[in-house]
Structure 1
Amino acid sequence: MSRLVVRRVPPGRVLDLESFAHATGLHPDLARRLVALGLLEAAPDAGGRLWFPLSQIAAAGRIQRLRAGFSLNYAALGLVMDLLDHIAELEAALRDRRRNPRTGGGSPWTRTD
C-alpha cells in the first residue's frame, strides 16, 4: 500500500508540476493524467505549464489512499470522491441545523418565516 509522503513545499500559493510531483510522490505524467481526468485541479499558464493549488496535495493523498485501499480505477475514483464530498456537505448542513434549529429547520419552500 503506497503512502502519501509530503516533502518540503516551496513557498507560495501554487506549485508547478515538478514541485507538486515531488511533494506528493506522484510521477509527473500521472499528475497530468489525473488533471485531464478531472480528479485534480490545476491551471495552465500561458506557456502551458500546470500550476497546482496547495490544496491539491491533500487531494492527491486522498486519490492515492482510495486507489490503494479499494483498488478503484480512475473513473470510479471520480465517482467515489464526488459522493464523499456530497456526504461531507450533507453532514455539515446537518451539524449546522442541529446547532441552530431556528434557522436550519424545515425546507426553504415550506418555511413560513
Structure 2
Amino acid sequence: MSFALVRMRVRREERSGREVHLGLEEFAARVGLHPDHVRRLVVLGLLDADADPSGRLHFAPAQVARAARIERLRAGFCLNYAGIGVVLDLLDRIAELEAAERAAGLRLSRHPPQPSTSVDTGRRIVTRSSGRGQPSAARRYGGISWTRTG
C-alpha cells in the first residue's frame, strides 16, 4: 500500500464577512475540469486545497490560475504530471526571484553588454551593437543586434 504526500490545510473557522474559498464543484466548473480530475491534481500535489472538518475541499481563488496553467502545460507541451510539477516549481521560483529583484530595486540585464564590432562585407559595413539605444532598423540574429550602415 502507498500513500501520497499531500499538502492540505484544515480550515477550522469560516472567514468573517465573505467566503474567499471555492468549493470543489464550483472550482471544477470555473476551470472546466471534472471534480474527480481536480481531486487527482490535489492528491498529486499540483493544486493546494483546504479541507474543512468534514473533509470537503475548498480552493483559494488563486488556484484557478494555477489549474489553467497546469492544463496549458499538459496540452501544449505534452508533459506528464511529474514534469508539470517540476515546471510549476521552477516558474514559482522565477516569480520569487523577480519579486525580490523588484523589491531590491535592481534590474538585471537579460543580455549582458558586449563591445561593438564592425565587419566589412565588401559593399556595406555591418555593425554589431549591444545594449540599449539600438536603431529601430536593428534585426536580431542569435541574440545579437546587427544593423547595416552605409
Do the two structures share a fold, i.e. TM-score over 0.5?
Answer: yes
2:72 counterpart (65, 71, 95)? 65
Percent identity reads: 60
Runs of 4+ deviating beyond 3 Å: none
**Larger Cα Rg: Structure 1 or Structure 2?**
2
In 1, distance between residues paired with 2:22 and 2:99?
Answer: 30
TM-score by length of 1: 0.73
2:101 paired residue number: 94
In 2, distance between residues paired with 1:93 and 1:45?
Answer: 34
AA in 1 matched with 2:91: L
2:92 paired residue number: 85
In 2, distance between residues paired with 1:30 and 1:45?
Answer: 20
More helix by share: 1
Q: Which runs of no fewer than 5 residues in structure 1 stay unpaired? A: 1-10, 100-113
Name the structure, 1 or 2, with higher relative contact order (CA <8 Å, separation 6+): 1
* 1:18-38 deviation per Cα after TM superposition (whole angstroms, max 9, x unaligned): 111111101101100000111
RMSD over aligned Cα, in angstroms? 1.7
Q: Which runs of no fewer than 5 residues in structure 2 stay unpaired? A: 1-17, 107-150
TM-score by length of 2: 0.56
